[in-house]
Amino acid sequence: MSTQRREITLSDGSTLVAERRSGGGPTVILLHAGVADRRSWAGVADALAAADLDLVAYDRRGFGETPAAPAESTFTHLGDLVELLDALEVEGAVVVGNSMGGALALDLAATAPGRVSGLLLIGAAVSGMTDDDTPFDWQADPATAPLMAELEDAESRGDVAAQIDALTRLWLDGPTAEEARVGDPARALFADMNRVILDSGAVGDPGDAGLDTWRTLDGIGVPVLASWGELDIPADLPFYEETARRLGQGPGRVLPGVAHLPGLERPEVVAGLVLEVVGRA
């Protein structure tokens, strides 16, 4: 499997940095979380080295090597993804999305279903997600609430080290798990990815396409496997379950012993899920 670093020039002159590991088989697009960049998929790609797949991971604007968009930009991450597929001459692909990457994957399937042959969601957000139309409300548990308060305080003080510490405990370890449950190299990589994000100023929702995919999930007809880590933020778990219910393709898959970023913790498990969805697609 050959590996190639690509710089994709977009219609507005901006550049996305991507990495393509081409084995000549079906294309799999790997969309990173909002607390990560394309490097979070390296272990998964390594675990898929023997598979005949064309793997593409890229840094969204403000993540990894891709610069943040200027404040006046009207770009959307969805538009960038479509342009990337066009530039790489990818007509249809299995799309794997973690967290915010999952929301982007669902947006693509909802608006351009011909570009998506299957979806793997991992702790996925959904555009327009709300608890207004659910029988449950989002409420931080006793382990999560203090960490969120720590993160907010660190942000107000501009303390990058403290922000990264709180982010690591929330998203990598999982708030209900033992602190430093996940060690290096995953822990060091998480810290570096988020240092880049904080330095770029990409925190928040720039690039949101403004879709309400949450209320149209039952219209997505491609094969979908929804999964999430059992150690993820407890208040988010009902939303993952509700996403799977609305998609109508099974109850979803709980991944034991991992939190929000299973690809960093157990890349071989995520690689197995990728192969499962490729097989179904």
Q: Does residue 19 have a pLDDT over 70?
A: yes
For residue 1, what pLDDT band results from cuts at 50, 70 and 90? low
Q: Return the pLDDT at 72.
A: 84
What are the boundaries of each domain within the chain?
2-138+205-280, 144-200
Per-residue pLDDT tens digits for 75-95: 999 999 999 999 999 999 999
**If we measure between CA atoms, which residue out of 57, 138, 66 comes closest to residue 93?**
57
Side-chain half-sphere of 5: how many Cα atoms within 13 Å? 7
In the chain, the percentage of residues whose pLDDT exceeds 90 is 93
Q: Return the pLDDT at 203.
A: 55
Q: How far is CA 167 from CA 59, 187, 206, 237, 255, in A?
A: 19, 11, 19, 18, 21
Per-residue pLDDT tens digits for 171-226: 999 999 999 999 999 999 999 999 999 998 765 567 899 999 999 999 999 999 99
For residue 24, what pLDDT band results from cuts at 50, 70 and 90? confident
- Cβ distance 99 to 33 under 8 Å? yes
- Cβ distance 84 to 59 under 8 Å? no
pTM, rounded to two decimals: 0.96
Q: What value does the mean pLDDT of the chain take? A: 96
Q: Return the pLDDT at 2.
A: 78
Q: Return the pLDDT at 71.
A: 82
Q: How far is CA 51 from CA 145, 227, 228, 270, 280, in A?
A: 42, 22, 24, 14, 15
Backbone phi and psi for residue 117, each to the nearest 5 degrees, phi listed first:
-100, -15
Per-residue pLDDT tens digits for 85-133: 999 999 999 999 999 999 999 999 999 999 999 999 999 999 999 999 9
Q: Return the pLDDT at 124.
A: 98
Question: Which class would CATH give 2-138+205-280?
Answer: alpha beta
Q: Does residue 58 have a pLDDT over 60?
A: yes
Q: Return the pLDDT at 34.
A: 96
